[in-house]
Amino acid sequence: MVRHLKGLQDTISVTIVHPTWQKTKPYDDEDTHMGWIFGAPKDSDEVFNNTSGKGGPFSAALEGCDPNPLFDSFSIRDVYERVGDTEGKYTVPILFDTKKDTIVNNESSDIIQMFNNRFNEFAKNPSLDLAPSALKGKMQEVDDWIYPTINDGVYRCGFATSQPAYDQAITELTESFDRIERILKANRFICGDQLTLSDIRLFATLLRFDEVYVVYFKTNTRSVVHNPTLLNYCREIYQMVAPTVIMFQIKQHYYTSHPKLNSYSVIPGGPNVIKLLEQPHDRATLSGNKKQKIDFQEAPTLSNCWNSLMTAQPCQETKSKK
């Protein structure tokens, strides 16, 4: 989303991993690691089941998921091992330097900071600052409670293995959800009149809330689509970043990659949040500035977003890859 808002598509290309986890070493019977893999070529007829073997089949060639251009890797694990980074988990996102053949960073909160100010020389929207110095204190303040209770809070609910652990997580999430509503009734964005990285971090969870977390992670004490304030807030941000949102992949990942939670990988049909997010909003009425100026440089629409999202080429000066 930050890459899109800053206009870095021509500098930082993107490869999206396949949403359904698989064995990362499929030909090694003794290796049981499951994780992210890359898509198969478009003409492939390969299919696979979920990691328990009960759910599927799923096509290995999925629209938007390209084979990895780095080292012909099969999995994200292969990329980590190729560059000698074998401590910790094999996670995404990855910001990868194709000149030095190394992982620059794999923490999303760090990467969005880099995209905000480290590539302005190449950005189409270099004046857009999503972490202005005047708001950094406020951003840190809201991040400090939104992350543990909402961003991570949905996972604490979903993967709780005891009733007390779940009860604590859902209580904290519900209280923070209501706190966000109170803030956004009075303010256009979470830190005031200006869109910041804190909004991007919050929106990433709210976007998935009703389609995934309410059902899958048992966060059903609250709902974005039934909350006029939060729904309106999400509409504004979604309409800024719509080409970066691929809801069918979001849902396929969650519902097909955790057999302990969903043995047969059945994906729910509703509630079509994207259709609701495409409707008009009136959030500008809350802002003293009325509207933050963002020049999207003829940003692509949903109908043609695949080309710019998936095939943007690195420039000659900087060939980084997320």
Task: Kindly write down the DSSP assignment for every residue of 92-104, as one continuous string.
Answer: S--EEETTTTEEE
Structural domain contains residue 69: no
Residue the block writes with tokens 């302990």? 260
pLDDT tens, the chain, 322 aa long: 999 999 999 999 999 999 999 999 999 999 999 999 999 999 999 999 999 999 999 999 998 898 988 888 999 999 999 999 988 999 999 999 999 999 999 999 999 999 999 999 999 999 999 999 999 999 999 999 999 999 999 999 999 999 999 999 999 999 999 999 999 999 999 999 999 999 999 999 999 999 999 999 999 999 999 999 999 999 999 999 999 999 999 999 999 999 999 999 999 998 999 999 999 999 999 977 444 444 433 333 332 322 223 333 333 333 344 3
What is the residue range of 197's domain? Answer: 134-293
Using alpha carbons, select from 246, 176, 255 the residue that is nearest to residue 4.
246
Structural domain contains residue 47: no
Q: Which two tokens stand for residue 62?
A: 């999925």
**Residue ranges with strand state E in 234-285:** none
**Contact (Cβ atoms closer than 8 angstroms) between residue 160 and residue 217:** no
Using alpha carbons, select from 238, 16, 203, 2 the residue that is nearest to residue 120.
2
- Collect all residues with Cβ–Cβ distance below 8 Å to 14 and sequence separation of at least 6: 3, 309, 310, 312, 321, 322
CATH number at residue 238: 1.20.1050.10
Give the per-residue pLDDT at 298.
Answer: 36
**Contact (Cβ atoms closer than 8 angstroms) between residue 21 and residue 259:** no
Structural domain contains residue 25: no
Distance CA 112, CA 322 (A): 11
Structural domain contains residue 71: no
Distance CA 106, CA 101 (A): 14
Domain count, the chain: 1
Structural domain contains residue 184: yes
Give the per-residue pLDDT at 287.
Answer: 79
**Contact (Cβ atoms closer than 8 angstroms) between residue 143 and residue 198:** yes
Distance CA 214, CA 223 (A): 7
Structural domain contains residue 194: yes
Burial category of 274 from C-beta neighbours within 10 Å (exposed 0-12, middle 13-18, buried 19 and up): middle
Structural domain contains residue 299: no
Structural domain contains residue 186: yes
Distance CA 39, CA 120 (A): 31
Give the per-residue pLDDT at 288.
Answer: 72
